[in-house]
Amino acid sequence: MFMTDDKKMKIMCKWCNVSKTCHIVSQEITDHQGNYGIDSVMMAKVKIHKHFKGKNYCKGSDRTITVPLDKLLKDNEKNMD
């Protein structure tokens, strides 16, 4: 399995639309129906760290979501520049 190192990454919180720190909890391969048959996609379970939206905690705060790993890594490379 391909595991990235445990450095902090950034992800867009879909509840408050702000780039927040996160880390990868686990990775798994899932099969999806693609244009050319069944595609295997590496998915990452990502833990979004606690953060606020206004005065209260955001709905996406301290939550674990599943996203495609290649999209997450590509977005982080774009943000590093």
User: Could you tell me if residue 3 is inside a domain?
Assistant: no
User: Could you tell me if residue 4 is inside a domain?
Assistant: no
User: Could you tell me if residue 42 is inside a domain?
Assistant: yes
| pLDDT per residue rounded down to tens, the chain (81 residues) | 344 455 678 888 889 998 888 888 999 998 878 788 888 889 999 999 999 998 999 998 999 999 998 888 887 777 665
Domain count, the chain: 1
User: Could you tell me if residue 19 is inside a domain?
Assistant: yes
User: Could you tell me if residue 2 is inside a domain?
Assistant: no
Confirm if 59 and 47 have CB atoms less than 8 A apart: no
User: Could you tell me if residue 1 is inside a domain?
Assistant: no
Residue with tokens 């902090």: 8
Q: Is the pTM above the cut of 0.75?
A: no
The boundaries of the domain holding residue 69 are 9-80
